[in-house]
């Protein structure tokens, strides 16, 4: 029988140091010859990203770090090829954003030039075409941001295509006679509307460029070449990101029609949603936020075969080759695994898994919780209940409400060490997929259009009220945390409701007008769809800004901000810090040198988690036993 103990005081074996060292973050992989390579972002090495070979280990040493800053969000920053029997790695180095080339055991050498100090040149999503490296290049010159598809030749960089503002998913056909890519323009975001373009490749140039799919109200993603120059891609034309095909005569076919998502928002460059296998079948993943499956598709019949796996969530970065496929995934009991799938037997093998620093008996089982708004619409969320193998709550538990970023992102029911930091101490966590979140089809995603600051706030409160009514959490001990767009919602609910005992804002948006005037190019027109056009709808921007209503703030607030953040500049957090100072509200402000939009350094992770927990304890009247 478990012993009863006050929530918040449960002794937890999970420390903030463990969170910072809980494992490396992995995103991309590529089959290179007979080898498989992947990347690892290592907090223990100040957030360096290393490319790792299954056969050879780390492909470069310190201080090199493979990380592109295209779109500020980044994405696929490296590319491997086999040339003259040797494996070569091309990667974008974080510190100078130049492309470097290296062979196994060699010192990297730059293949792109040093640019003037007044200019910024960045590269991402490299491919091999005709013995050259082609990629997306982003330039910042005299305050103007442009992008192009470029070829990195010997002592020259040639612009191949520059008619669009954004590019993604460059793919040459097998014989390199054609190139397909995804592009879009302001004010669209790629989950609103994109185009797929195709062109002939002739002597290192593109000819006969044409739009073959998509538009301003159709989000097309991830085109891949099949047999006979057939194209497969993901489109939400039906209301869901489904699998489509396009033949050489321009005829489109809805290969698989179902109410499940095969795609994700393109926040990062280099995502891979489908792999066309040697036998013509298509490998992808589909499903709901709660449960996704790897799936093999017969493109002729549209018949799908689900692949059995204990994993329930997969990153959109598939790779395949040599009769194998590779994917990163997680589940309610697994934070992250890198899995190899044998395409003949359909059996999976774990190449590596992120090690959990404490015993599994301490982890809760996350579950989906659906609340109903007053208007009858459903709001989805994932609950991670307070859990401990020895203790149970002596009273109703506090609740930490998590608001994901984006706002076009999603919460999934996978094992989270960050959430376990709270649940092992007796605090329940709920991660809310408010209207506007991805994973529930285009209609749910579009609920946010023109309603940022309203729908998210209302949905958060609907979930909180439903959990309070269910009787499992203490109505007087509701906390809220979120980063970026999630931080905006944190600040917004704190100044517009009295539900919350305290809040934690990680680089949150405080002033919508300032954000419209001072943010990076990728998201600079995002607010057109979330709020309205600027400056035509300037009044709406003022009304939706948490800073406008900061005089109503009464809840304690802890703020975390990276001083190198180009997405949500420090001035946004500093404005709310000043409000707290002037009003005499209990608060803390933590600014981190060398951190941008999201913390990578172990020291920053430790400080922020420990400070947040201590702050909550001071507000709610408990002293965490450790951490």
Per-residue pLDDT tens for 337-352?
A: 999 999 999 999 999 9
pLDDT attached to residue 363: 97
Beta bridge partners of 454: none
Residue 301 token pair: 């019949």
What H or E segment, with its residue span, contains residue 350?
strand 348-353
Spell out the long-range contacts of 587-592 with Cβ–Cβ below 8 A and sequence spacing 24 or more.
Answer: 587/556, 587/557, 587/558, 587/559, 588/558, 588/559, 588/615, 589/558, 589/559, 589/561, 590/558, 590/559, 590/560, 590/561, 591/561, 591/562, 591/563, 592/560, 592/561, 592/562, 592/563
pLDDT attached to residue 566: 87
CB count, 10 Å around CB of 496? 17
Cα separations in angstroms, 543 against 161, 251, 546, 627: 41, 47, 8, 39
33-60 mean pLDDT: 94
How far is 460 from 499, CA to CA, in rounded Å?
10
pLDDT attached to residue 227: 87
How far is 546 from 552, CA to CA, in rounded Å?
10
Burial label, 468 (beta-carbon count in 10 A; 0-12, 13-18, 19+): middle
How far is 576 from 563, CA to CA, in rounded Å?
15
Domains in the chain, CATH or no CATH each: 23-128+135-146 (no CATH), 163-355 (2.130.10.120), 362-561+571-586+606-620 (3.40.50.1820)
Question: Does 142 have pLDDT greater than 70?
Answer: yes
What H or E segment, with its residue span, contains residue 429?
strand 428-433
- DSSP label of 376: S
Question: Does 247 have pLDDT greater than 90?
Answer: yes
pLDDT attached to residue 153: 84
Contact 317, 31 (CB under 8 A): no
What H or E segment, with its residue span, contains residue 515?
helix 512-517
15-29 mean pLDDT: 87
pLDDT-above-70 percentage for the chain: 100
Burial label, 303 (beta-carbon count in 10 A; 0-12, 13-18, 19+): exposed
| Closest to 504 (Cα-Cα) out of 443, 428, 590 | 590
pLDDT attached to residue 46: 85
Question: Does 415 have pLDDT greater than 80?
Answer: yes
Sign of CA dihedral 550, 551, 552, 553: positive
Contact 553, 580 (CB under 8 A): yes
Give the list of residues 6+ apart from residue 234 with CB closer than 8 angstroms, or none.
Answer: 220, 221, 222, 241, 242, 243, 244, 262, 263, 273, 274
pLDDT attached to residue 207: 98
Which backbone phi and psi does 522 adopt, to 5 degrees? -55, -45
| DSSP output for 529-576 | HHT--TTTTHHHHHHH-GGGGGGG--S-EEEEEETT-SSS-HHHHHHH
What is the rounded radius of gyration, in angstroms, for the C-alpha atoms of the chain? 24
Contact 241, 222 (CB under 8 A): no
Question: Does 20 have pLDDT greater than 90?
Answer: no
Contact 168, 182 (CB under 8 A): yes
Tell me the three state secondary structure of residue 386.
coil
pLDDT band at 23 (very low <50, low <70, confident <90, very high): low
515-536 mean pLDDT: 96
| End-to-end C-alpha distance for the chain, whole angstroms | 26
How far is 204 from 392, CA to CA, in rounded Å?
67
pLDDT attached to residue 502: 99
pLDDT band at 1 (very low <50, low <70, confident <90, very high): confident
pLDDT attached to residue 154: 76
Three-point CA angle 141, 182, 184, nearest 5°: 55
Residue 75 token pair: 């994405």
pLDDT attached to residue 572: 92
Question: Does 113 have pLDDT greater than 90?
Answer: yes
130-152 mean pLDDT: 97
pLDDT attached to residue 355: 85
pLDDT attached to residue 156: 87
Q: Which position has the token pair 């200019």?
A: 119
pLDDT tens-digit readout, 437-477: 999 999 999 999 999 999 999 999 999 999 999 998 999 99
Strand 282-287 versus strand 304-307 pairing type: unpaired
293-297 mean pLDDT: 98
Contact 31, 419 (CB under 8 A): no
Contact 271, 75 (CB under 8 A): yes
pLDDT attached to residue 627: 59
Tell me the three state secondary structure of residue 225.
strand
> Average model confidence (pLDDT) for the chain?
96
Q: Where are the alpha helices (DSSP H) in 356-484?
A: 417-423, 442-445, 455-470
């Amino acid at each position: 029988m478990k012993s009863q103990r006050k929530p918040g005081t449960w002794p937890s074996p999970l420390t903030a140091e463990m969170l910072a060292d809980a494992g490396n973050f992995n995103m991309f992989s590529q089959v290179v010859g007979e080898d498989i390579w992947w990347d690892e972002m290592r907090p223990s090495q100040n957030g360096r990203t290393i490319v790792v070979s299954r056969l050879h280990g780390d492909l470069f040493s310190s201080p090199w770090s493979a990380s592109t800053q295209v779109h500020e969000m980044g994405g696929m920053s490296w590319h491997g090829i086999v040339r003259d029997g040797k494996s070569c790695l091309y990667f974008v180095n974080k510190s100078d954003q130049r492309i470097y080339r290296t062979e196994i055991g060699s010192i990297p050498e730059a293949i792109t030039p040093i640019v003037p100090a007044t200019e910024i040149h960045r590269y991402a999503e490299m491919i091999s075409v005709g013995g050259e490296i082609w990629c997306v290049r982003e330039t910042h010159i005299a305050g103007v941001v442009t992008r192009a598809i470029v070829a990195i030749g010997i002592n020259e960089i040639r612009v191949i295509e520059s008619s669009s503002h954004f590019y993604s998913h460059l793919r040459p056909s097998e014989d390199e006679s054609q190139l397909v890519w995804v592009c879009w323009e302001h004010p669209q975001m790629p989950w609103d509307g994109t185009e797929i373009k195709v062109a002939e490749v002739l002597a290192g140039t593109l000819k006969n460029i044409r739009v073959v799919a998509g538009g301003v109200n159709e989000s097309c993603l991830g085109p891949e070449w099949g047999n006979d120059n057939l194209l497969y891609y993901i489109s939400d034309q039906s209301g869901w990101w489904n699998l489509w095909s396009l033949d050489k005569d321009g005829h489109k076919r809805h290969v698989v029609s179902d109410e499940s998502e095969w795609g994700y928002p393109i926040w990062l460059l280099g995502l891979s949603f489908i792999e066309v296998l040697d036998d013509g079948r298509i490998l992808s993943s589909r499903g709901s936020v709660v449960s996704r499956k790897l799936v093999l598709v017969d493109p002729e019949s549209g018949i799908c075969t689900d692949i059995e796996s204990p994993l329930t969530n997969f990153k959109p970065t598939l790779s395949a080759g040599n009769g194998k496929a590779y994917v990163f995934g997680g589940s309610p009991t697994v934070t992250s695994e890198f899995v190899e799938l044998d395409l003949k037997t359909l059996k999976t093998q774990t190449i590596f898994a992120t090690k959990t620093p404490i015993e599994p008996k301490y982890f809760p089982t996350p579950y989906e919780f659906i609340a109903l708004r007053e208007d009858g619409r459903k709001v989805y969320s994932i609950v991670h209940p307070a859990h401990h193998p020895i203790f149970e709550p002596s009273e109703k538990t506090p609740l930490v409400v998590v608001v994901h970023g984006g706002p076009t992102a999603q919460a999934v029911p996978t094992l989270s060490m960050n959430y376990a930091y709270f649940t092992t101490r007796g605090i329940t966590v709920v991660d809310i997929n408010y209207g506007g979140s991805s994973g529930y089809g285009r209609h749910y995603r579009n609920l946010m259009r023109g309603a940022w600051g309203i729908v998210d706030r209302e949905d958060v409160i609907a979930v909180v009220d439903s959990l309070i009514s269910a009787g499992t959490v203490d109505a007087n001990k509701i906390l809220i945390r979120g980063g970026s767009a999630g931080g905006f919602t944190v600040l917004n609910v704190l100044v517009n409701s009295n539900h919350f005992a305290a809040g934690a804002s990680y680089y949150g948006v405080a002033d919508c007008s300032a954000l419209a005037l001072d943010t990076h190019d990728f998201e600079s027109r995002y607010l057109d769809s979330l709020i309205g056009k600027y400056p035509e709808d300037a009044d709406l921007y003022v009304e939706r800004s948490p800073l406008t209503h900061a005089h109503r703030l009464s809840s304690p607030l802890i703020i975390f901000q990276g001083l190198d953040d180009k997405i949500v500049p420090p001035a946004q957090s500093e404005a709310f810090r000043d409000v707290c100072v002037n009003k005499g509200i209990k608060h803390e402000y933590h600014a981190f040198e060398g951190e941008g939009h999201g913390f990578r350094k172990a020291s920053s992770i430790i400080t922020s988690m420990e400070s947040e927990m201590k702050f909550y304890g001071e507000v709610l009247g408990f002293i965490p036993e450790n951490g």
